[in-house]
A and B are shown apart, each in its own frame.
Chain A
Amino acid sequence: MSAEQTVEGARMPAHTKDIKPGIDWRGRALDRAPFLVACLMLALIVAIYGSLQSGVFTLDELNLDTAAAMTLMLAATGQTIVLLRGGIDLSIGGMISLGTVIAATRFTDDPSTTAFWALTILALGFLIGALNGLLISLLKLQPFLVTLATWSILNGVAMIILPTDGGSVPSWWVGFASAQLLGLTSPVWMLLALLLFWWWFRATRVGITIQASGSNEKSAFLSGVSITRVNILTYGLSGLFAAGAALFLITQTGAGSPTIGKDYILPSVAAAVIGGVSLFGGRGHLAGTLIGAFVLTLIGNLVFVLHVSSYWQPVASGIILLLSVLASSVAEKAARNRVQ
């Protein structure tokens, strides 16, 4: 192998000698490493879970776990888009709460009214997100700051609409989460739809410009990308997915909650980071995020079958997140050194 390379190198003109021919396999492997680590982590957790509990490797279990993870998956999909852009969206905490309380107070047994409000919630999510993006661009403020402020505002509005947990959701809406097709429940189909969406989205003009601006904002701007437009779309999509997460969440809880959203802020970032999405923008894939969401959800199951206090779940997730972040920060430093 090395002999061949020298021969090839010798045949090349002198001035191109420094440029390595072909694909940078080592760099690619390093880029994929976090994703592979996430897959291994999931396999390990499933193995432990499977050895402690019977019936883990069945369709029923897949249906149940996907339903349990779907709210987080939807929220984390929006967060992944924002992270690829190099930002962060804390306002999803407020948006999810707001979505559940609007649904729990406005949904009726009449399908058309419910459909109207469901669409309104989705539109609201996109508009509020777009407003986040616009403020970040116009005021040249850090994303976390703008979204921290809108998190507080949305949370406040949710508390005004519904001060405590309550309200109700029509039973047919709740039933959606357990509707089956070919033995798979709707959350599993949603999971497949999310992957299909990503496969389509990342190659679209918008998807490419979002990743490019996250990778290097200056170069993207100099290449003719409107940063304001990218921000509006990025945060708009994040708000839209957060609203979708709220609509799915109420199928699980059956009621609205003005405070439930904040439980999804850190996990949405954690799922993405565990799945290998860079916190510094530009690199990552939704498949990783979805694996990360499964990891976080199954930790909850593990805690349950191990018969320890359920309060250990946030501790375990927090520690796994910190380890993933540390690993990715170290890898980021190494990658930067490699480029230089």
Chain B
Amino acid sequence: MSAFLARNRLIVLAYAGMVVLLLVTAMFSPGFLSVSNMRSTVVLAAFVGIVALGQTFVIIGGGIDLSVPWVLNSAAIVMALLCGGQDLPLAWVMPLLLAGGAFIGLVNGIGVAQFGVPPIIMTLATNVILQGLILVLTGGSPTPSAPALIQFLSVGRIGGFPVIALIWLALTLVATLLLSKAAFGRHLYALGTSATVAEFSGVPTARTTILTYVASGLTAAFAGMLLTGYSGQAYLGMGDAYLFTSIAAVAIGGASILGGSGHYLGTVAGALVLTILTGLLPALNLSSGALLVVYGAVILITVSIGSETFAGLGGRIRGRRA
């Protein structure tokens, strides 16, 4: 048990932080711990959590995906346009857009892994290109409303549980199995710790890198479609917030931004922490600008805790790099 705690100290810390934050928030706004409020918090956290799933893979592999906002936004808008409010087209639109998200990820991954383009530049460029293409496509006009089925997936309930929470739970299971049990997970940690050593040890580094970006494209596109259901409509700029939140969720969850460590279970806590924070700020009469300041501060503080300077102070307890 103590070995488990030592190895996953940062993840445990993230969950402890979440509980403390919940209690603090409950003090400021007494209704916060009610069932209905908890439910809506989990629903909002699920969107962050799903986008951050792919981001977790990318960051463990030592990269970063800044194309998340417009992959998400593109999927949302194209889905609304193609479905025109009808359920039936979803049967082919959803697979098509998931494939589209995976394709953008593939392009990102190939650029990074095969051509050696720095991940920040590669993903920022695809982000801008997608943004331009979507603006050309829509001409800035609003889209039809979301199909009823997608609305059910994001705001509906089964036996009192939000459907999206169940989807998130299923995705968490899949991610945990991939990271902890599958060869992909072992390859990924090896790659993130040292690409050179991994390469010489026979890890398919290029393929693993590409797969992380494909996963990120997939989850961002999926989240975009679900988010359209939540807001009832797709609109320009709906993905912008997810750039900072997806990265912050991973950082809070204890993944080293240098790669090689972390787990999706930590990211889940990170997504919840960020959403609770978002709920806390209106109670304190703070604006959306303050929220951005908090996101930035949270990224800075959490990555500092995981950085080498602090690792040197508590290195023996952690043994993370050993």
- A residues at B contact (CB < 8 Å): 88, 90, 135, 138-142, 144-146, 148-161, 163, 258, 265-266, 269-270, 273, 279, 309, 311-319, 321-322, 325-326, 329-330, 332-333
B121 touches A325 (CB 8 A): yes
B293 touches A153 (CB 8 A): yes
- 18 more A-B residue pairs beyond the given contacts A315-B132, A325-B121, with a C-beta to C-beta distance below 8 A: A141-B307, A145-B303, A146-B300, A148-B244, A151-B296, A152-B244, A152-B295, A155-B296, A156-B294, A156-B296, A160-B290, A309-B135, A309-B136, A313-B132, A314-B131, A315-B133, A325-B125, A333-B116
Contact residue among B127, B136, B309 (Cβ-Cβ distance under 8 Å from A311): B136
Contact residue among A141, A154, A161, A269 (Cβ-Cβ distance under 8 Å from B121): A269
In residues 104-130 of chain B, which contact A (Cβ within 8 Å)?
A: 111, 115-118, 120-122, 124-129
- Interchain CA distance A140-B257 in the complex, whole Å: 12
User: Which residues does chain A contribute within 8 Å of B116, judged by CB atoms?
Assistant: 329, 332-333
- Interchain CA distance A140-B126 in the complex, whole Å: 29
A329 touches B303 (CB 8 A): no
- B residues at A contact (CB < 8 Å): 64, 111, 115-118, 120-122, 124-129, 131-133, 135-136, 139, 244, 247, 257-258, 287-297, 299-300, 303-304, 307-310
User: Which residues does chain A contribute within 8 Å of B118, judged by CB atoms?
Assistant: 88, 279
What's the least CB distance linking B293 to chain A, in Å?
A: 4
B309 touches A149 (CB 8 A): no
A-B complex: 6 closest residue pairs judged by Cβ atoms: A159-B289, A156-B292, A152-B296, A153-B296, A156-B293, A315-B132
A142 touches B300 (CB 8 A): no
Known: A141-B303, A314-B128. A152 touches B133 (CB 8 A): no
- Interchain CA distance A258-B292 in the complex, whole Å: 12
What's the least CB distance linking B217 to chain A, in Å?
A: 16
Contact residues of B: prevailing secondary structure = helix
What's the least CB distance linking B74 to chain A, in Å?
A: 13
User: Which residues does chain A contribute within 8 Å of B244, judged by CB atoms?
Assistant: 148, 152
User: Which residues does chain B contribute within 8 Å of A157, judged by CB atoms?
Assistant: 289, 293
What's the least CB distance linking B275 to chain A, in Å?
A: 17
- Interchain CA distance A150-B297 in the complex, whole Å: 8
A265 touches B129 (CB 8 A): no
- Interchain CA distance A145-B120 in the complex, whole Å: 10
Q: Could you count the A-B residue pairs with CB atoms below 8 Å apart for me: how many are there? A: 138
Contact residue among A156, A269, A333 (Cβ-Cβ distance under 8 Å from B290): A156
A139 touches B304 (CB 8 A): yes
- Interchain CA distance A68-B308 in the complex, whole Å: 43
10 cross-chain CB contacts under 8 A: A149-B297, A150-B300, A155-B296, A309-B139, A314-B135, A315-B136, A322-B117, A325-B121, A326-B117, A330-B115
- Interchain CA distance A265-B124 in the complex, whole Å: 9
- Interchain CA distance A145-B289 in the complex, whole Å: 20
What's the least CB distance linking B274 to chain A, in Å?
A: 12
A319 touches B115 (CB 8 A): no
User: Which residues does chain B contribute within 8 Å of A154, judged by CB atoms?
Assistant: 296
A319 touches B129 (CB 8 A): yes
What's the least CB distance linking B245 to chain A, in Å?
A: 10
User: Which residues does chain A contribute within 8 Å of B135, judged by CB atoms?
Assistant: 309, 311, 314
A312 touches B296 (CB 8 A): no
Contact residue among A141, A148, A332 (Cβ-Cβ distance under 8 Å from B304): A141
Contact residue among A142, A155, A312, A321 (Cβ-Cβ distance under 8 Å from B292): A155
